[in-house]
Structure formats: C-alpha cells, structure tokens
Amino acid sequence: MSRQTHQPSAVHPARQEALQHPRKGIVAALAGALILGLTGTAFGASGIAVTDKEVTVGQLHSSTGTMAISETGAIEAEQLAISQINAMGGVLGRKIKVIQEDGASDWPTFAEKMKKLLESDHVAAIFGCWTSASRKAVLPVLERDNGLLYYPTFYEGLEQSKNVVYTGQEATQQVFAGLDWVAKTKHAKTFYLIGSDYIWPRTTMKLARKYIETVLHGTVVGEEYAALGSTEFGSTINKIRLKKPDVIYAAVVGGSNVSWFKQLKAAGITGKSQTLLTLSVTEDEAKGIGGENLLGFYSAMKYFQSLNTPRNKEFVSQFKAKWGPTAPIGDVTQAAYEGPWLWKAAVEKAGSFETDKVVKAEESGTITFDAPEGMVYLEPNHHLKTRLRIGEWRADGQADIVYTSDYIDPNPFPKGY
C-alpha cells in the first residue's frame, strides 16, 4: 500500500473521533492544544507529501554526535543535488522541499526520526544514514511504512531491501578488484588484515581472506580487529612488523583511523617501504589524518575528488562554490550526491511519486545517471554498477588515481563466501 493512495483516510484518529463524539473531541482538542503549546510542534498527521507545486523529501543524517564528522559531507552533497534539481525545474514539475532531521549518532533516534519523516511528514523519499547500525535501525520502519531510502555509504552487503537504493558500493565491488590490482602490480603474496571491530570490516575481511586464499593463492599472515574508538595501535603495529606482510589491508574507521595512520608513520612504516591498501580513507578522512601521514598509501574507492574528467571538474567547482573552497569531497559525499538524481530519474520514469511505482522503475534496470564518477547504472538488485578506482595519497590530502577497473556488477549476496 502506498502512502499516497491512503492519504484521504489518514485522518488523525482523534479527529475522526471528534466527528463522532463532539464532547470527547473538545477534550482531545484541548489536550492536543496543551501539548502543542508545550513543544511548539505540529502533530497534525495528514499533511500531503506532494502538492501541485511541491514534493517533500527527508534528509536524515547525524549533524551532532560522533558521526557528524563523517556525515557532514553527505548532508552537503544531497543539498547541492536537490538545489540543482530545483534550479532545473524540480521533479515532475514540483520543487523539492527538504525536511532535515538529526539522527544525533544514536540509532534509536534514527529510527524515531525515520518514523517521524514517514508517518508525520509523509515524505516521498529519504536521503540518509551513514553507518550500518543506523540503516539496520531504520530498516524495519522503512519497510513497514513502505518508504524510500537512498543510502550513500560503501557497506558490507548481505542486504537487499526493496525500499532502499544503495548508492555506495557493496563489499564485493570494493574488495575483489582492489586485491587483484595489488596482487598484480605489487606481486603481493602475504597480507595482513586489520579492521575496526564491527560488521562492515568483519564481512569485508571474510571476503578478502577467501579471495586471497582461493583466487590469488596468497597467505593471510594476520587478521585483527581493533575495538571501536581505540586509539592505541603500538602493539598491533609491532605484530605487523614481526609478520612482515607484503600488503597491509586496512578497514579502520572513525577516530581510530587517525591514530592508526599517525602511529604507523611514527613507527617508521610509510608508503615508501610498505604497501598499504585501505578501504576506509576518503578525502574526508584524509583531512583529519593529515596527508603527510598517508603519503604513498592506497585507497580503494569508486570515486576520488581528483578524477580528471570535465563532468567531475564541473561537480567539484559547484560543490566548492556552495560549501566553501576547503570542503573535501570523498567517495560517500559523491555517492550521496547521486541519491537525489537517481530518485528523480526513477520518479520521472514511473511518472509518479508512489513508492511502489518508483520501486518498479528502479528495478527496471534502465535508470542511469551521468555522475561525477562517470555513468552509473542502477541494477535490479538496488545497487549500482560502477567502477573501482585505486588512489595513491599525496601529501596535500588528495589522491592520484593509479588504476580504474571495468564496470563491476553489484553482488550483495556472494555465493561461496
């Protein structure tokens, strides 16, 4: 059932009763007014998401709390895309109006705000979430209320909801091609895997280990997970020294990421002497880590800001014009930028804002977008067919792209892994 078709019946329950029992209605209305006055928030639930002139969408990221560090870029990119779409006349002739909510880096808050966006604001689509935890928290709400979420982060896969479009890469897209490249160009045989201790690095490393052992015929000499928020890597680095791997394959996130690279450099492990391929450093993280600490290391991403195409240069200059010259643009930021555009394409193909019709259009396999990273193709499994790129970090916090793969089909449920 779509939210739009049941609009007429979505009258406030209290209001429905008010029609039947006038006196009870007065009590309810008084109480409602009391609570309204208390919070200054409107509780009227029957707003229509689409008028003749306007369509309302939601934006749900953390602008406070520990995740604000990462999610700011996504917020900015989505707003840029929406303002550009509006400048072009909007979607199906309607201007996009954004309701921005703060998930505050807290998963129950994400679920609460998702519910609010869907059930009170009746938004047509939501651009949001960053961590897997926040996505998992909102997913049941999203599926129950039949909403649409555009999720920008590269993630672990193992999921395919009809209500979500994953504009970041799933694990197989990010892992295999990168390992192929490092094995070929660096003649790597031994690998040391290290990640933060949660689902994304664990799944990624599981895939990587299997691929290294069965396809590349290499060895994994160590696999290790650091507690989330850990700032101490001295002992871990010593272990790595003892094992002398050809490649350090890393997926450390958050504040730990900065400690990890600063301490690597301090221990004399630099891009000159050691090959390191990371899955968790974009230009956003590089700003916090400091380019000099990353010099010569590699990242596997689908997008780098330095990508030398006219389309990307145009995007970068638009982004900087809106958000300031120092704002970095990372992989997730670019993936977030794709969200509103892909939604626009799907809505226009469906000719409607109704979730079921839009989902059908999404699954048709014909939705494409000329993104800054190049053409992307929305596959019927709700993931994007994209390329993988390897960037070598420079001291200024930008990366030189040293390798670009062919298009890789998304495969969120890899067989045999």
Partner 1 sequence: MDAYSLSDLWSILVMQGFSGLSLFSVLLLMALGLAIIFGQMGVINMAHGEFMTIGAYTIYSFSKLTETYFPTLMPYYFIVAILGAFLIAFVVGYLVEYTLIRHLYKRPLDTLLATWGLSLIMQQLFRSAFGAREVSATLPDWLMGSWKPTPDIDIPLNGIFVMVMSILVTGAVVLFLFRSNWGLKVRATTQNRVMAGAVGINTKKIDRVTFAIGCGIAGVAGACFTTIASTGPTSGSLYIVDTFLVVVFGGSASLFGTVASAFSIAQAQSVLTFFLTNAMGKVVTLMTIITILMMRPEGLFRSKVRR
Partner 2 sequence: MNALLNRALGERNGAIGLAVLAVIILLIMPLALDIFRLNLVGKYLTYAFAAVGLVMVWGYGGILSLGQGVFFGFGGYCMAMFLKLEASDLTSTAHQTTPGIPDFMDWNQVTQLPMIWQPFHSFAFTVFAIIAVPLLISYVISAAMFKRRVGGVYFSIITQAIAAILTILVVGQQGLTGGINGITDLKTLNGWNINTDSAKYLLYFINGALLLGVIMVCNLVLSSKLGRLLLALRDKEDRVRFSGYDVANFKIFTFCMGAVISAIGGAMFTLQVGFMSPSIIGIVPSIEMVIFAAIGGRMSLVGAVYGTLIVNYGKTAFSESFPSLWLLFMGAMFIGVVMVFPNGLAGLYQSHLNDRVTRLLNRIKKVKSSDQLKVVKAES
How far from chain centre, in Å, is Cα 174?
14
Q: Which is nearer to partner 2, 67 or 350 (CB)?
A: 67
Nearest 5°: phi and psi at 98? -105, 130
Is 231 a binding residue for partner 1 by CB under 8 A? The answer is yes
Q: Which is nearer to partner 2, 111 or 148 (CB)?
A: 111
Stretch that binds partner 2, among 13-21, 285-293, 327-335, 388-396 (CB under 8 A): 13-21
**3 state SS of 321:** helix
How far from chain centre, in Å, is Cα 303?
13
As beta bridge partners, residue 370 has 375
Is 396 a binding residue for partner 1 by CB under 8 A? The answer is no
Interface positions, 2-21, toward partner 1 (CB under 8 A): none
What's the min distance (Å) between Cβ of 280 and partner 2?
A: 15
Is 375 a binding residue for partner 2 by CB under 8 A? The answer is no
Among 24, 53, 243, 320, binds partner 2 (CB under 8 A): 24
Is 237 a binding residue for partner 1 by CB under 8 A? The answer is yes
Instruction: Give the pair of three-digit tokens for residue 414.
Output: 């890899």
Is 206 a binding residue for partner 2 by CB under 8 A? The answer is yes
Residues 61-90, one symbol each (x = binds partner 2 by CB under 8 A, - = not), give --xx--------------------------
Instruction: Give the pair of three-digit tokens for residue 41.
Output: 């928030």
203-209 long-range contacts, CB within 8 A, separation 24+: 203/156, 203/157, 203/158, 203/171, 204/156, 204/171, 204/174, 204/175, 204/251, 204/279, 205/249, 205/251, 206/417, 207/171, 207/172, 207/175, 207/176, 207/414, 207/417, 208/175, 208/179, 208/249
Q: How far apart are the first and last CA of the chain?
A: 36
Is 255 a binding residue for partner 2 by CB under 8 A? The answer is no
Q: Which is nearer to partner 1, 54 or 396 (CB)?
A: 396
Q: Which is nearer to partner 1, 201 or 410 (CB)?
A: 201
Interface positions, 130-159, toward partner 2 (CB under 8 A): 131-133, 136-137, 139-141, 144, 156, 158
Stretch that binds partner 1, among 24-32, 182-190, 232-240, 353-361 (CB under 8 A): 232-240
38 CB burial (10 A radius; 0-12, 13-18, 19+): exposed
How far from chain centre, in Å, is Cα 48?
28
Give the C-alpha separation, 59 to 126, whole Å: 6
Stretch that binds partner 2, among 23-31, 80-88, 278-286, 312-320 (CB under 8 A): 23-31
Residue count of the chain, please give it. Answer: 417
Is 55 a binding residue for partner 1 by CB under 8 A? The answer is no
CB 57 within 8 A of CB 127: yes
Instruction: Give the pair of three-digit tokens for residue 185.
Output: 């160009």
Nearest 5°: phi and psi at 36? -60, -45
Among 7, 95, 98, 119, binds partner 2 (CB under 8 A): 119
| Residues lying near partner 2 in the complex (CB under 8 A) | 12-14, 17, 24, 27-29, 31-32, 34-35, 38-41, 43, 45, 63-64, 100-102, 104, 106-108, 111-112, 115-116, 119-120, 131-133, 136-137, 139-141, 144, 156, 158, 197-199, 202-203, 206, 227-228, 413
| Residues lying near partner 1 in the complex (CB under 8 A) | 63-66, 68-69, 71-73, 194, 197, 224-227, 229-239, 241-242, 255, 257-259, 262-263, 265-269, 284-285, 287-290, 292-293, 328
